[in-house]
Amino acid sequence: MCGIVGYLGPRQPKDVLVSGLRALEYRGYDSSGVAILDQGKLKRVRAQGKLIHLVEKLKNENFDGHLGIGHTRWATHGKPSERNAHPHCVGGISIVHNGIIENYAELKLNLLKGGAVFESETDSELVAHLIHNEVKSTQDLLQAVLKILPLLKGAFSIVTVWEEQPETLVAFKNGPPLIVGFGTDEFVVASDLQAILPYTNKIVYLDDFQVAYIHQSQFQLLDQKGHTLEFQTASIDWNSEQAQKGGFDHYMLKEIFEQPRAVANAILPHLDTEKFCLNLNSLKQSWTGAFKDIDLTQVERVLVVACGTSYYAGMLAKYWIESKVRIPVEVDIASEFRYRNPVLFLKTLTLVISQSGETADTLAALRLVKESGGPILSICNVPNSSIDREAHCRWYMNAGVEIGVASTKAFTATMALLYVFSLALAKIKMKLSSEQEQEAVKAILGMPSHMETVLAFDSFFAEVAHILTAVRGFLYMGRGIHYPIALEGALKLKELAYRHAEGYAAGEMKHGPLALIDSDMLVIMLAASDELYEKTISNLEEAKTRGAKIVSLGTGENEHLKSLSEHYLALPKVYQDLYPLVEVIPLQLLAYHVAVTLGNDVDQPRNLAKSVTVE
């Protein structure tokens, strides 16, 4: 997902913006740019690829001004190119944007009918056009922003400046994070603390639908109707360990917040982000040993073997591969697989999933397959780990080191990889049209932004965790692709809060779990709007009528679901296949905050190890 930096103050904006964008590089990006005031005009410099290319272009540039904005872009609409890089400038207005404008097509059409000329393929550029149109009449940047905000739908955080108001910067947050840093007669606005802390540790986190108005040395916090809001600045006092934890209280929370970037880094090697299609080489060309010249069109079955959270990720592969490739998929717990004398076929492709790459049961399962089975593709987070070394083809979660014993970013990175794998195998076996491919690739590329928006549930669960600690039993339920997420959500609560929790296929209610239901039982229902929604709702109503307390996760503002639930969490509307990537995050946050409230050692839960290298 994208990175944003804005600056107003006495320093050279170029220096502040470049150092800020460097601090945000971890977020994953494919182009970057700045727009800085120079003698009353906004001068824009952009570059495709890594930040070094922008720095090279800026080397001999000087700016006579103290206002600027910068951006690192993760392409979702419009391929990675200098033309599509932010900032976008229209008639003296310049903006940077993180997120997705869902109604951009209709807005863009109206602007084109009004004579607007677009220079890029992005949804972001239309925001600059909208503000430019309004500022002609308002003659004020803030008023122009307030006028266009109601037009926009989706998750979008923006920072904008106008040449005619050279000491004004306006920011708006809805979804992706935006933080304001208060220095001495200077302000730094950024997506992340790391870009701000070199200048100040006094900050305000913007909440959704809040507007930051900075003018000279004044700051105002407003709602989207322009009403002034009270605010408290926070001081970030990081010690060295906290600096390693990125200011988070625990590695696990840091890793939960790193998930958008982890997913972005996991899928990038397997996609062509210029053409929005798959890069098949990472599946066709990267086999070794006996399967160096493998012909994947001959694959007739897929076997998935893993443990714990990795096994739950593997369960999703069954839904995605069987629905797209139309070949059978068997998913097995490694400790069961290795002792049940399995029947192995040469035309079976085995996926071995392991964050650590050292899990004893999973390694033993790999070796069993290797004795008399077919090709093995490993998905690990640790290069050169045992499982990584012994597989025939290696994919990587690229999630960065995962320190928390409870796996989070490795899980979502694995799910994203398995989805891309299912697309690639479908394409190789001629089961995926170009249109389907492009639609699915664009959808998975948009997921980091959607995942960022659900991180906002962190504050909700921090508030309600104390209520949840009193609950006797937790029943997580979902159908279809939501069922593995129900299992993973229950596991997170078990391993962190040491509370009994079960994950169940919602359709199984009548086959036993219904007897568990009473007013002491908390049901967490995954009820995204898909083809199983109606059946899921009837399961939820079965539990409700028997006295269960309900926490439900649904798509958007679902009044009916809200009416049935003690707490309702609105998920962003995403590509139906990909709801698991957003709905697991609130479940991770629930488990984290209940564990913290109970005073448990979140990063090192009792009885558990990060890698189970013994049986």
Q: Which residues belong to the active site?
A: 2, 610
- The nearer residue to ligand AGP, 362 or 565, going by C-beta atoms, is 362
Nearest to 486 by CA among 396, 399, 553: 553
Decide if residue 388 touches ligand AGP (CB under 6 A): no
Distances (CA, A) of 84 to 71, 77, 88, 294: 12, 9, 8, 39
Cβ at position 83, least distance to ligand AGP in Å: 41
Q: Please report, as residue ranges, which positions from 487 to 516 form the binding site for ligand AGP (by CB under 6 A).
A: 495
- Can you list the alpha helix ranges (DSSP code H) found in 204-300? 240-244, 251-257, 259-267, 281-284
Decide if residue 354 touches ligand AGP (CB under 6 A): yes
Decide if residue 350 touches ligand AGP (CB under 6 A): no
Nearest to 525 by CA among 581, 575, 586, 596: 586
Decide if residue 355 touches ligand AGP (CB under 6 A): yes
Decide if residue 612 touches ligand AGP (CB under 6 A): yes
Cβ at position 51, least distance to ligand AGP in Å: 32
Cβ at position 402, least distance to ligand AGP in Å: 9
Q: Which helix (H) or strand (E) holds 144?
A: helix 141-148
Rounded Cα distance, 86 and 2, in Å: 10
Decide if residue 335 touches ligand AGP (CB under 6 A): no
For 83, the token pair is 């033309």
Cβ at position 571, least distance to ligand AGP in Å: 22
Cβ at position 253, least distance to ligand AGP in Å: 14
Q: Is 560 helix (H, G, I), strand (E, B) or coil?
A: helix
Decide if residue 359 touches ligand AGP (CB under 6 A): yes
Cβ at position 312, least distance to ligand AGP in Å: 8
Decide if residue 418 touches ligand AGP (CB under 6 A): no
- The nearer residue to ligand AGP, 23 or 585, going by C-beta atoms, is 585
- The nearer residue to ligand AGP, 27 or 370, going by C-beta atoms, is 370
Decide if residue 405 touches ligand AGP (CB under 6 A): yes
Binding range to ligand AGP, per CB under 6 A, among 271-279, 352-360, 508-516, 529-537: 352-360
Nearest to 447 by CA among 317, 313, 531, 571: 571
Decide if residue 407 touches ligand AGP (CB under 6 A): yes
Rounded Cα distance, 224 and 227, in Å: 7
Residue of minimal CB distance from ligand AGP?
A: 308
Binding range to ligand AGP, per CB under 6 A, among 388-396, 402-410, 475-483, 522-530: 402-410
User: 573: which DSSP letter?
Assistant: P
Cβ at position 609, least distance to ligand AGP in Å: 8
Sheet arrangement for strand 154-162: 88-90, 93-101, 154-162, 168-173, 210-215, 218-223
Rounded Cα distance, 351 and 330, in Å: 10
Binding range to ligand AGP, per CB under 6 A, among 184-192, 336-344, 351-359, 563-571: 351-359
- The nearer residue to ligand AGP, 451 or 490, going by C-beta atoms, is 490
Binding range to ligand AGP, per CB under 6 A, among 237-245, 274-282, 400-408, 421-429: 400-408
Q: Tell me if 568 sits within 8 A of 550, measured CB to CB.
A: no
Strand residues in 49-206 grouped as ranges (E): 67-73, 88-90, 93-101, 154-162, 168-173, 179-182, 187-190, 202-205
Burial state string for 161-183 with b = 16 or more CB within 10 A and e = fewer than 16: bbbebbbbbbbbbbbbbbbbbbb
Q: Tell me if 449 sits within 8 A of 176, measured CB to CB.
A: yes
Nearest to 120 by CA among 99, 95, 145: 95
The residue whose two tokens read 């991180």 is 455
- The nearer residue to ligand AGP, 471 or 491, going by C-beta atoms, is 491
Cβ at position 406, least distance to ligand AGP in Å: 4
User: 578: which DSSP letter?
Assistant: G
Rounded Cα distance, 15 and 230, in Å: 32
Distance of CA 34 to the CA centre of its chain: 25
Cβ at position 484, least distance to ligand AGP in Å: 13
- The nearer residue to ligand AGP, 84 or 310, going by C-beta atoms, is 310
> x-or-dash pattern for ligand AGP, window 292-311, by CB under 6 A?
---------------xxxx-
Decide if residue 360 touches ligand AGP (CB under 6 A): no
Distance of CA 303 to the CA centre of its chain: 27
Residue from 67, 158, 379, 406 that binds ligand AGP (CB under 6 A)? 406
Cβ at position 405, least distance to ligand AGP in Å: 5
Distance of CA 145 to the CA centre of its chain: 27
- The nearer residue to ligand AGP, 427 or 492, going by C-beta atoms, is 492
Give 67: exposed, middle or buried? Use CB within 10 Å, 0-12, 13-18, 19+. Answer: buried
- The nearer residue to ligand AGP, 206 or 369, going by C-beta atoms, is 369
> x-or-dash pattern for ligand AGP, window 251-290, by CB under 6 A?
----------------------------------------
Count of residues of this chain found to bind ligand AGP when the rule CB under 6 A is applied: 15
Binding range to ligand AGP, per CB under 6 A, among 17-25, 151-159, 401-409, 430-438: 401-409
Q: Which helix (H) or strand (E) holds 217?
A: none
Binding site for ligand AGP (CB under 6 A): 307-310, 354-356, 359, 362, 405-407, 495, 611-612
